[in-house]
Amino acid sequence: MKKTKKILSFILAILMILSIIPITASAATYSGSCGDNATWIYDSSTYTLTISGTGDMYDYKSNNHPWETYKNKIKSVVVNDDITKIGAYAFYRTGKVESIILPVSISELGEKAFYGCESLTSIVLPDKITLIDEWTFAYCENLTSITIPKKVTTIGDYAFSDCYNLVSVTIPDSVTTIGDSAFASCESLKSVIISKGVSSIGVNAFSNCYSITSITVDKDNQHYSNDEHGVLFNKDKTTLVRYPIGNNKAKYTIPDSVTVIGNSAFSSCSNLTNITMPDSVIKIEDEAFISCSNLTDFKISNSVTTIGEWAFTSCKSLTSIDIPDSVIAIDTSVFRYCYNLTTVTIGKGITTIPSCTFEMCDSLTGVIIPDSVVLIDTSAFYDCYNLKNVYYTGTKEQWEQISIAGSSNQPLLNATVHYNYCMHMYSLVVTEPTCTEEGYTTYTCECGDSYIDTYFSFLSN
């Protein structure tokens, strides 16, 4: 028993001694190769990743770079002199990195090199860089400003997309190409100046940039221009490229010079309630008016021939729409999710009602369909559960010849079909007044229906 007590006393003494002796441990470092002549070292005490050596770094794919294990701990990155390229995906989703220092020797940034560096607020890009590659800075959510080097010619697709806090960006004259969605969803970006060298601006380059109030084009640019409202056009204003989402005006009249409403030109312009379209417009491209959620007053002009997919999707305040006879083709999902659309007239130029055209238009009660239609595709009227009446300009026999895609169009199949409906298109003949007879106007439809309206009289009382 005494022996046991002695052992316990000895152990307690050792523990007491250990408790008063300061314990120090050296910080761990980890290292390896990241290029033919490049190495890396991670210091866990400072949370710093350092790249050294010469030449290019290797390109990687998402999560296979050698510091993957430590990427959620790295707070700073230092690239030493003589490294010439940052490899693709090099710092992909290194979410806690706050500081990245690049040497003047860097001439190339790989695809998605800094994608998802959420804590990065600023970075100085070396002057030798000529390309900002695809997705390079996408989802750098706290990046507030950046200066594009003066030798850059291309800003790639999605290069700065979803940089939510990016307030300003300087685009030098050297830039000729701004890629698809290059600045998409840069929600804090307030203004854009298109330099004189830009010759190509991709689809959705500035979509969902809710703070942009105007887009200004250098007067010497040979390919683009802007109007007094800060709306972006091609040089001769025949294509409307982008309406600035942050513009707070409720009404806008498209200039008479415009023939094409460009892809996503008015997307998400929720301030607009009224858009006037001139008869010069012949084409409405994909997603042109998508998510114009407060648009209530809109008329498709009688010159339009084609309407692209998703063109009016989620225009939740539209209550009626007339597709004029001039339109010969509409693409899929054109009026999808137009929840308040109650009546629709489809012009007689249409032969196919494509898939999902009126999907989820759950307020739709009536639709006029011309006898030119031969196909109503999958889900064209899916979940239009209030559709009660179809006004068809042809006979019952013609209606039965239409190919209607099955159960996904059940609301259409359950509706009451009114055959031989006439969409009266009146031509007029004016009979001038005489000294003894009143003048009048005769309106006659091709179906034979007509009526007379008094025009003018020289007769005195």
Beta 232-234 vs 224-226: how paired, if at all? antiparallel
* pLDDT computed for residue 10 by the predictor: 54
How many angstroms separate the CA atoms of 419 and 394, rounded? 6
> In sequence order, which residues have a C-beta less than 8 Å from that of residue 285 and are 6 or more positions away?
260, 261, 262, 263, 264, 265, 308, 311
Partners of 426 in the β-ladder: 445
* Average pLDDT across the chain, whole number: 91
Between 3 and 48, whose confidence is greater? Answer: 48
Tokens found for residue 121: 């607020």
Phi-psi region of 182 (alpha: psi -120 to 50; beta: other; left: phi over 0): alpha
pLDDT digits (tens, 9 = 90+) for 130-176: 999 999 999 999 999 888 999 999 999 999 999 999 998 878 999 99
* pLDDT computed for residue 165 by the predictor: 96
pTM of the model: 0.84
pLDDT digits (tens, 9 = 90+) for 250-309: 999 999 999 999 999 999 999 999 999 999 999 999 999 999 999 998 999 999 999 999
Q: Please report which confidence band the pLDDT of residue 25 belongs to, taking 50, 70 and 90 as the band edges.
A: very low
Tokens found for residue 297: 């007053």
* Helix H or strand E segment including 10: helix 2-20
pLDDT digits (tens, 9 = 90+) for 167-212: 988 789 999 999 999 999 999 998 889 999 999 999 999 999 999 9
Q: Please report which confidence band the pLDDT of residue 5 belongs to, taking 50, 70 and 90 as the band edges.
A: low
* pLDDT computed for residue 443 by the predictor: 66
Mean pLDDT (whole number) for 2-30: 53
Long-range contacts of 385-388 (CB under 8 A, 24+ apart): 385/411, 386/362, 386/411, 387/411, 387/412, 387/414, 387/415, 388/415, 388/416
C-alpha 18 chain-centroid distance? 63
**% of the chain exceeding 90 in pLDDT:** 81
Q: Please report which confidence band the pLDDT of residue 448 belongs to, taking 50, 70 and 90 as the band edges.
A: low
Could you tell me the strand order of the sheet in which 154-155 lies?
131-132, 154-155, 177-178, 200-201
> In sequence order, which residues have a C-beta less than 8 Å from that of residue 40 and are 6 or more positions away?
31, 32, 33, 34, 49, 50, 51, 52, 66, 67
How many angstroms separate the CA atoms of 285 and 306, rounded? 8
* pLDDT computed for residue 28 by the predictor: 87
How many angstroms separate the CA atoms of 380 and 408, rounded? 8
Tokens found for residue 362: 């759950």
